[in-house]
Structure 1
Amino acid sequence: MATIGIFLSSEEQSAKRLVDIAVKAEDAGFRDLWISDHFHPWIDAQGESPFVWSTIGAIAAATREVTLTTAVTCPTVRIHPAIIAQAAATSATLLDGRFRLGVGSGEALNEHILGDPWPGIEQRLSMLEESVAIMRALWEGDNVSYDGQHYIVDRARLYSLPDEPPPVLVSAFGPQAIETAGRIGDGYINVAPDPDLLASYREAGGTGPAQAGTKICWGTDEAACVDTVHRLWPNEALGGELAQVLPMPAHYEAACAPITKEMIAETVPCGPDADRHAAAIQEFFDAGYDEVYVNQIGDDQEGFLKFMAKEIAPRFSS
């Protein structure tokens, strides 16, 4: 059965609001959530970026049955993988095992803040692979010492552990990243309905669920929805590798300056048409993805959840 989940945007919502949306999503019948992990928003207009691990703890306390996946955490530069291992283990215990750690090679937007150089993709993937190995070793519960190419761990042991280690799902978009994800991942994450990337992940030995995330703007006025997306998420229309290399929201704002409302209308499903929103989601399932997480751009999260529960989720329930 196809899984429809709700995507919580840490770049656009405060921590309290994210918890509120999670509770209302569960009340509306949704049991699967994504949550983004950022230090900065993409552009200033988005306006938020709470510490995801605090938010996850609050969601765990406020909900009863949800499964939560970070989409995605970068465990390589800004935070040492040993600390991410502890955060993920604690999150898994709070959620009674209903936690999945989504990881990726990160963006300069979040990872430059301590003055570290931003590595090229080959080094970032090597760091990611080493970090996942460290986390899995720590989740075994033994004393861990590690002297690797990128990280040192000195006699570290995690005492608070879930019954089972959290699955590690890997976000990957290019051929090198796909090959790494296939070797180290317990699942795959993408934000485009691309069957070739998913097939490459499987060919590289990747197993587990394939998750995808997408953004919409539901509302009764299509033009107003387009305006909302153009104001808050013009970067949805950016292509290429800019999302990995630009270091500040101001740089994304400059890169987004040429993006028009017409381009947004072609990129993000906007307005009240359930058929259009369902068709955009169906593209991911047609490409072979198992789970699709949908984020509402803008303030009307309650109307969006009612729309999703009444008009969208039933179409994928059989």
Structure 2
Amino acid sequence: MTEYGYFLACEEHGPAALVDQARRAEDAGFTSLWISDHYHPWNDAQGQSPFVWSVIGALSQATSLPIETAVTCPTVRLHPAITAQAAATAAVQTDGAFRLGVGSGEALNEHVLGDRWPQAAVRLEMLEEAVAVMRKLFTGEEVSHHGKHYTVENARLYTVPEAPVPIDVSGFGPAATELAGRIGDGFITMAPDQDAVERFRRAGGKTKPARGGLKVCWAPDREEGAKRAHHLWANEQLPGELPQVLPTPSHFEQANQLVTLDQVADAVPCGPDPDTHISAITSYVEAGFDSVYVSQIGPDQEKFFEFYAAQVLPQLPG
């Protein structure tokens, strides 16, 4: 049975707004939450970027929905030992209903302490070691680790959930997808890519959950929605490794000039037609995803939730 969740965008909304959206999502019939983990927004128009772990603490008191980061990079800006402590506390706060989504990150967020931004293959190597360190710490036992990328000495997490925190791994290419299959408790990606799901399962994912996310823009008409999506999230259409290597919001703003309004209109479900939204979400189900997370672009959150509660969620495949 497919699960439908709401994707909270820390790049667009402050802490209070995110908590309010989580409540609205639960009331509308969404059954779980994703939340992004950023130091910067993708561009200044998005305008926010609260510390995700503080927001998760507030969410745990405001909603009963399961929560997952989509995704945290536990390799550069945050050491895996610190990420493990944050994730374990989040799992305790949610009575075990927290999953840690991880990925190899973007320079946009991870270079802020002046660390060198490694090549993609090295980033994946770092992620694999970081996941191994975090799994050891989730046991609640004392851990010392002297690896290629990380050192941990006499570290023990005293606040841990009854079961280790599940770790889902994000993948946007073959190498990352195969890593997710090999070391992850699940797979995360942002396109209805059946080949990626199958690659994940062949690489060891088997029956583990595949989770997909998409941006939509409810608006009074399709043209207005497309303009809003282009203004705020043109970066979603940038090709190749650009999203991983551009270092600042201003660089993304420069690159976004290459993205046309038509590209965004073709890629993002926009406007008030429920069939447009249903079709986009159903494409994930048909590609083999177990969960689909939807994020509304822009300020019309209340109208979006009313629209989905009445016209979209009831018509989605079970």
Same fold (TM over 0.5): yes
Mean Cα displacement is larger for which, 173-182 or 97-106? 173-182
SS in 1 for 2:306: helix
Shift of residue 234, structure 1, vs aligned partner: 1.1
Residue 271 in structure 1 maps to residue 283 in structure 2: no
Q: Which residue of 1 aligns with 2:40?
A: 40
Q: Which residue of 1 aligns with 2:308?
A: 308
Cα distance in 1 for residues equivalent to 2:41 and 2:196: 27
Cα distance in 1 for residues equivalent to 2:97 and 2:77: 25
Cα distance in 1 for residues equivalent to 2:187 and 2:272: 31
Query: Does the CA contact (< 8 Å) of 1:3 and 1:316 recur in 2?
Result: no
Task: Note the alpha carbon deviations across 1:242-271, whole angstroms, 9 max, x for none.
Answer: 111100011111111122222221111110
Cα distance in 1 for residues equivalent to 2:119 and 2:22: 36
1:60-139 alignment to 2 at 5 Å? 60-63=60-63, 65-139=64-138
Task: Note the alpha carbon deviations across 1:6-37, whole angstroms, 9 max, x for none.
Answer: 01000000011101100111122222110000
Following superposition, which runs of at least 4 residues in structure 1 exceed 2 angstroms of deviation? none
Q: Which residue of 1 aligns with 2:217?
A: 217
Cα distance in 2 for residues equivalent to 1:221 and 1:55: 32
Amino acid at match of 1:97: G
Identity of counterpart residues, as a percentage? 57
Query: Does the CA contact (< 8 Å) of 1:75 and 1:131 recur in 2?
Result: yes
Query: Does the CA contact (< 8 Å) of 1:217 and 1:271 recur in 2?
Result: yes
Cα distance in 1 for residues equivalent to 2:56 and 2:132: 23
Shift of residue 317, structure 1, vs aligned partner: 5.3
Q: Which residue of 2 aligns with 1:19?
A: 19
Cα distance in 2 for residues equivalent to 1:125 and 1:74: 11
Cα distance in 1 for residues equivalent to 2:25 and 2:197: 28
Amino acid at match of 1:101: L
Cα distance in 2 for residues equivalent to 1:307 and 1:69: 24
Amino acid at match of 2:233: W
Query: Does the CA contact (< 8 Å) of 2:3 and 2:31 recur in 1?
Result: no
1:177-192 alignment to 2 at 5 Å? 177-192=176-191
Q: Which residue of 1 aligns with 2:9?
A: 9
SS in 2 for 1:44: coil
Cα distance in 1 for residues equivalent to 2:178 and 2:59: 33
Amino acid at match of 1:127: M
Cα distance in 2 for residues equivalent to 1:178 and 1:261: 30
Residue 243 in structure 1 maps to residue 216 in structure 2: no
Amino acid at match of 2:160: L
RMSD (Å) for aligned C-alpha atoms = 0.9
Task: Note the alpha carbon deviations across 1:251-297, whole angstroms, 9 max, x for none.
Answer: 11111112222222111111001001110111111100010000000
Cα distance in 2 for residues equivalent to 1:302 and 1:317: 24
Amino acid at match of 1:108: A
Query: Does the CA contact (< 8 Å) of 1:144 and 1:155 recur in 2?
Result: yes
Cα distance in 2 for residues equivalent to 1:79 and 1:148: 16
Residue 56 in structure 1 maps to residue 56 in structure 2: yes
Cα distance in 2 for residues equivalent to 1:176 and 1:28: 37
Query: Does the CA contact (< 8 Å) of 2:73 and 2:102 recur in 1?
Result: yes
Residue 290 in structure 1 maps to residue 286 in structure 2: no
Amino acid at match of 2:45: A
SS in 1 for 2:314: helix
Q: Which residue of 1 aligns with 2:143?
A: 144
Unmatched runs of 5 consecutive residues or more in structure 2: none
Q: Which residue of 2 aligns with 1:198?
A: 197
Mean Cα displacement is larger for which, 190-199 or 234-243? 234-243
Cα distance in 2 for residues equivalent to 1:38 and 1:246: 14
SS in 2 for 1:204: helix
1:150-169 alignment to 2 at 5 Å? 150-169=149-168
Cα distance in 2 for residues equivalent to 1:261 and 1:244: 22
Shift of residue 171, structure 1, vs aligned partner: 0.3
Amino acid at match of 1:93: V
Unmatched runs of 5 consecutive residues or more in structure 1: none
Task: Note the alpha carbon deviations across 1:106-148, whole angstroms, 9 max, x for none.
Answer: 0000000000000011111111011001101011111100000
Shift of residue 316, structure 1, vs aligned partner: 2.2
Shift of residue 176, structure 1, vs aligned partner: 1.4
Cα distance in 2 for residues equivalent to 1:173 and 1:228: 25
Amino acid at match of 1:291: S
SS in 2 for 1:77: coil
Query: Does the CA contact (< 8 Å) of 2:29 and 2:313 recur in 1?
Result: no
Cα distance in 1 for residues equivalent to 2:264 and 2:25: 26
